[in-house]
Amino acid sequence: MSQKSRREFLKLAGLAGAGLVAAPAVALAGHPVAGANDEELGMLYDATKCVGCKACMSACKRVNGDYGSLSYEQAKFDPDKLWDAPQDLTGSTRTLIKLVKDTPKEWSYVKYSCMHCQKPSCVSVCPVAAMTKDKITGIVDYNKNTCIGCRYCQIACAFNIPKFQWEKAIPQIVKCDLCKNTNLKQKGISACAEVCPTGAIMFGKRKDLLAEAKKRLAEHPKQYVNHIYGEHELGGTNHLYLAALQFKKLGLPELKGEAPAEFSEKIQHTIYKGFIAPIALYSTLCFIAVRNMKKGNGHAEEQKKTDDGGINEPR
């Protein structure tokens, strides 16, 4: 291959990669990120109303067990396997209730499950769109048939929610989907909210949940920390919290209002869209490697001819 043709190849490869990066970026720039969509579905968890009965945990696993491939987790004290006693969110547990003790007189229950972010990082980083956000309901859902098991969603989630089924032969990611394919589809409400005996879990549209949370803060200011967790964190979440203890003590991270998903989306869905840009880069590197290998073989052959010529010279 001539020097000119090599230069043309590298130039075309570079232009192709640059074009793939630039074109989608313009498309994204033309659609600025909108504010929070308060019409989406979500939950309001009021920790002051929770009695730790764990009915929500039981209902979640009972309703979603078959669909989500969830297993019961045996307690260490229960050789007869009568109790389901998960210690944390796992590949078999979507919803978890924990008791948090700050001091002997200050304690609270807290519920952990998917936050259903307005701008979910797990959706942004997924290279195959196995994680999706419903444009109408706002539910962040997972498609096991699309997933390639990269687990980027686990790394990207600021709340450490998605879990991987390490122990299963055909694993999948496990997280709350608001009973989208089970209880919500059949009854119009998530299983955890349906069975909660004290009303600690309220299900509905985000705007209604926010209105109720603000009403409770106004009516009982001494009962709560003056903050609705999830209203602004990471651009807003559809799973909202009220509590008497500081949210950081409940294991909920202190986060800014900006959504990192906006940045990751620009990378994941421009430079890596369709994996075409990386292919262009790898093609260029492959070409350079092959060229250098051929050049090296050519030098070796010339050296061999020189050596053979020196041996056959008459003395």
Which residues contribute to the annotated binding site for [4Fe-4S] cluster?
50, 53, 56, 60, 114, 117, 122, 126, 147, 150, 153, 157, 176, 179, 192, 196
> Among all chains, which residue has been given the structure tokens 């499950």?
113
CA distances from residue 1 to 8, 148, 281 in whole angstroms, order as listed? 11, 39, 20
Q: Is 238 exposed, middle or buried (0-12, 13-18, 19+ CB in 10 A)?
A: buried
* 243 and 224 Cβ atoms separated by less than 8 Å: yes
Residue 165: alpha-carbon gap to chain centroid: 15
CA 2 – CA 98 distance, rounded (Å): 69
Name the phi and psi angles at 269, rounded to 5: -105, 15
CA 168 – CA 166 distance, rounded (Å): 6
* 231 and 38 Cβ atoms separated by less than 8 Å: no
DSSP state of 85: -
Residue numbers belonging to the annotated binding site: 50, 53, 56, 60, 114, 117, 122, 126, 147, 150, 153, 157, 176, 179, 192, 196
DSSP state of 273: G
113 closest CA partner among 181, 44, 51, 66 = 44
CA 163 – CA 172 distance, rounded (Å): 8
Residues in Cβ contact with 168 at an 8 Å cutoff, skipping those fewer than 6 apart: 69, 91
Amino acid at 244: A
Give the per-residue SS3 of 94-163.
Answer: CCEEEEEEEECCEEEEEEECCCCECCCHHHHHCCCCCEEECCCCCCEEECCCCCCCCCHHHHHCCCCCCE
